[in-house]
Amino acid sequence: MKSLNGDKFVYSAYWRTWSRILSPYGALPVGQVEVDLTAVNPTSAHGWPKVSSINIRAHRTAQDFADIVTDDLPDSVLELMQVRIDDQEIIDHLLHADLLPQIDWYTYRKICNGGASFNAIKIIQG
């Protein structure tokens, strides 16, 4: 499955999680920007509420040689998301929404703790 806006997906060999890359390394001063697609322990329900909150993470961690960057999210990951997230609209946002231009980076830096919920950091349109 491809993201409708052409974003790449990344599998972190360290965390064993999948994310969508919103901005790759070097494109922004905040580092690589990702949105979580799976929880750190995907077999437990514990981490999925954070994924469902559309958790945005900016980091400067170099990619590991065992990480996977791909245009195509494996079907098994999408199936897992559909089992753990019962709202197709949230899944569609995670996979396809143009989130990056809507992020308030000042607010992100204030509240970031392993990422921040998109609703807490989005720019409020006045």
What pLDDT digit, counting tens, does each position of 71-106 carry?
999 999 999 999 999 999 999 999 999 999 999 999
Q: Is the alpha carbon torsion for 19, 6, 25, 28 positive or negative?
A: negative
How many other CB atoms are found less than 10 A from the CB of residue 71? Answer: 11
User: Sorting pLDDT into bands at 50, 70 and 90, what band is 126?
Assistant: low
Per the CB < 8 A criterion, the answer to whether 11 and 68 are in contact is yes
Mean pLDDT of 31-35: 92
Task: Return the structure tokens found at 103.
Answer: 């992020």
pTM (2 d.p.):
0.92
Is residue 110 pLDDT above 60, yes or no?
A: yes
